[in-house]
């Protein structure tokens, strides 16, 4: 019986709500949302635009953010394809013939993308590479088409 009385009271209270009450509640919500919006800042990862809608120029500080990101630099001597049978027959002292010719420039790749070519040098008993040709972005695109 108590449950029935509680439902009756809720129903009567709902009947007492007028359009003015709904309008007032909606206005309170709009005011509350407007007060929260200025607090929410745009994340730093989004590009900023000036008043004309053009992207703002990046400062050197923005560029400095990426300078310490590590990349994989690879110098490729050459490649070859062999069967698993021949691979399993390799032993100490075996010679694997590569597709590169002697004296041909080595490829320098960054994260798998060819960026330069160079020649092998020895510095303090360690191998190094002297860059002889830097691949321009337009040359990279041209090589992708071939």
Per-residue pLDDT tens digits for 19-28: 677 677 777 7
Nearest-Å Rg of the Cα atoms of the chain is 35
Judged against a pLDDT cut of 90, whether residue 39 lies above it is answered with no
- Whether residue 120 lies inside any domain: the answer is yes
Q: Which domain holds residue 116?
A: 70-145
| Alpha helices (H) in 17-136, listed in sequence order | 19-36, 60-64, 84-88
Question: Residues 6 or more apart from 79 whose CB is under 8 A from it?
Answer: 98, 99, 100
Q: Is 130 exposed, middle or buried (0-12, 13-18, 19+ CB in 10 A)?
A: exposed
Tell me, what CATH number does 78's domain have?
2.30.330.10
- Whether residue 116 lies inside any domain: the answer is yes
If pLDDT is split at 50, 70 and 90, which confidence band does 52 have? low
- Whether residue 49 lies inside any domain: the answer is no
Instruction: Give the CA dihedral 46, 51, 53, 58, nearest 10 degrees.
Output: -50
- Whether residue 36 lies inside any domain: the answer is no
- Total number of domains constituting the chain: 1
Q: What percent of the chain has pLDDT over 70?
A: 65
User: Whole-prediction pTM value?
Assistant: 0.49
Residue 13, token pair as written in the block: 């209270």
Tell me how far CA of residue 99 lies from CA of 68, 102, 131, in angstroms. Answer: 35, 10, 21
């Amino acid at each position: 019986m108590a449950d029935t009385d509680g439902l009756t009271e809720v129903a009567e209270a709902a009947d007492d709500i007028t359009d003015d009450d709904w309008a007032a509640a909606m206005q309170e919500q709009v005011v509350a949302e407007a007060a929260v919006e200025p607090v929410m800042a745009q994340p730093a990862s989004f590009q900023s635009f000036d008043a004309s809608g053009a992207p703002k120029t990046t400062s050197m500080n923005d560029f400095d953010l990426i300078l310490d990101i590590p990349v994989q630099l690879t110098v490729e001597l050459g490649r070859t394809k062999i069967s698993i049978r021949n691979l399993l027959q390799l032993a100490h002292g075996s010679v694997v013939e590569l597709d590169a010719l002697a004296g041909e420039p080595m490829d320098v790749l960054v994260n798998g993308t060819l960026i330069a070519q160079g020649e092998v040098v020895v510095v303090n008993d360690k191998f190094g590479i002297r860059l002889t040709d830097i691949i321009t972005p337009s040359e990279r695109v041209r090589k992708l088409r071939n």
